Amino acid sequence: MRRYRILPGLLFLISVITMAQTRGPVDEVKLLMESCRFSQAIRLVEPALEKDSAQPDLLLLKGRALASLYRYREAIAALKKALLIDSTNIRILNELADAYRQLGDSRKALTVFRKINTREPANTYFTLQIATLCYSLEDYLQAVNVLLPSYKADSGSFFVAKQLGNCYHELNRPDSAIMFYRQALRITPYDPNVTGKLVNLLIHRDEVALALYWTQRYLMQDSSYIPIRKQCGYCYYLLIDFVSAAKQFHECARLGDSSKFTMKYLGLSYYKQQKYDSAAPCFHTAFQCDTSDAEVCFYYGVSAYRSLDVNTGLKYLNCTLRLLMPSGQFLSTLYSELADANTSKGNADTAVTYLGKALEANPANNTLRFKIAYQYDYHLRKPFEALPYYREFLKNSAREPEPAIKDPQKVSYEDYSRNRIREITSKKK
């Protein structure tokens, strides 16, 4: 009796040993891969390949394991070896294309996917991979050429319609982009990215009422999505419905959006209603986001002043002037450079005008007086018009002496001016 009880256990043990003996390295590697033990899988593959390197399945698994460890260059090398043995294997080609893509080499990935497509032209997965890579390489026309046959074969694909819309958008063909975005929304009615792009296109085409409809349609399904609500508020603002615009932007703020765009247009919506005390804090928040925005600074100053915060109003109105007008020194340098550029082109009249502007912007730069004199004297051949500038230059040089010229072969501006004054006045006599 005891012998019959032991027998089933023995049979089970024998079957396990038999299975282990019959299981090949490919199966063992697959089990390790399934449990994400990629390093162990590689260590198991390498001895097997040393015994027999002509095993495409093992090389494929090695490539997958290496790619899973982000070792894409090594993965590509393994997959290329597999292709030398089996050049028509779609699985190997697909893994190789994906490894190139993960490495960031989209062009090589595209080449491999095109090879696959010639062997599997009916497989839409590979067609879409080609289109996606063309789009990432900014070859939008080629992406359209790839996608259109797929769309004609199946117009119910959201991805194809969306990508066609994106491509036509990049190709600056808004009519086609709008058509495909709308088709995409018929398939997936509440996609936020497609809705947002469609609304932007309609706003740029001045179809604001239609853009507003699409934002309202989306918000009925998801009222908390801030980007679409911002677009909705902007549409109301463009349609001069400032009350509704303020409501939309206020809701964005309530949901946690304190971006420059939201706070600026919330402020403008109040400002247009002459609610300056409500507008001022909105403009203040917007200006903190971008302290170089002269428009926001101006509206903040006006709103503060009109809500009886006179000191703040004056501060930001003066700040607006500084933002709109560069410093005198910068303007002077800019005009001086323009003068030099025009002189080099032979436009002496234009150059002397710019030098005058440079001096007006920065009167403390005495060298500009000499440059104006020299421009009249040498380039325009008008020495008598140069004379007062030479004299003014010397007069100001007496207050701030010019640095001494170390090179004896060079003449200082002061000495040159004195010589020319003597020469010009002697001719006049």
Give one DSSP letter per residue of 193-245, joined into a string: HHHHHHHHHHHHTT-HHHHHHHHHHHHHH-TT-HHHHHHHHHHHHHTT-HHHH
What percent of the chain has a predicted confidence (pLDDT) above 90? 69
Please give the residue that has the higher pLDDT: either 416 or 24.
416
Over range 254-277, report the average pLDDT. 96
pLDDT digits (tens, 9 = 90+) for 197-208: 999 999 999 999
Please give the model's pTM, rounded to 2 decimal places.
0.70
Dmax over Cα atoms in the chain, in whole Å? 147
pLDDT at 428: 66
**Mean pLDDT, the chain, integer:** 89
What sign for the dihedral angle of Cα 27, 31, 37, 38? positive
pLDDT digits (tens, 9 = 90+) for 132-158: 999 999 999 999 999 999 999 889 999
pLDDT at 293: 93
Give one DSSP letter per residue of 117-147, joined into a string: HHH-TT-HHHHHHHHHHHHHTT-HHHHHHHH
What percent of the chain has a predicted confidence (pLDDT) above 70? 91
Residue 23 has pLDDT above 60, yes or no: no
Residue 11 has pLDDT above 80, yes or no: no
What sign for the dihedral angle of Cα 91, 95, 100, 102? positive
Residue 292 has pLDDT above 80, yes or no: yes
Please give the residue that has the higher pLDDT: either 403 or 80.
80
Nearest of 324, 325, 321, 385 to residue 352 by alpha carbon: 385
pLDDT at 17: 38
Please give the residue that has the higher pLDDT: either 331 or 197.
197
| 219: CB partners within 8 A, 6+ apart | 225, 228, 229, 232
pLDDT digits (tens, 9 = 90+) for 25-40: 788 888 888 888 989 8
Tell which CATH classification among 1.10.357.10, 1.25.40.10, 3.30.1360.120, 1.20.59.10 matches the domain 21-113. Answer: 1.25.40.10
Domain 328-428 has CATH 1.20.120.420: no
Over range 52-78, report the average pLDDT. 91
- In angstroms, the CA 174 to CA 7 distance is 78
Binning pLDDT at 50, 70 and 90, where does residue 335 land? confident
Residue 176 has pLDDT above 50, yes or no: yes
Please give the residue that has the higher pLDDT: either 333 or 356.
356
Residue 219 has pLDDT above 60, yes or no: yes
Binning pLDDT at 50, 70 and 90, where does residue 20 land? very low
| 188: CB partners within 8 A, 6+ apart | 158, 194
- In angstroms, the CA 414 to CA 420 distance is 10
Place of tokens 């060079």: 410
In the structure encoding, which two tokens stand for residue 71, read together? Answer: 């070792």
Residue 22 has pLDDT above 50, yes or no: no
pLDDT at 35: 86
pLDDT at 359: 94
Length of the chain: 429
pLDDT digits (tens, 9 = 90+) for 402-414: 555 555 557 899 9
In which residue ranges of the chain is CATH 1.25.40.10 found? 21-113, 328-428
Residue 326 has pLDDT above 80, yes or no: no
pLDDT at 65: 92
- In angstroms, the CA 89 to CA 154 distance is 28
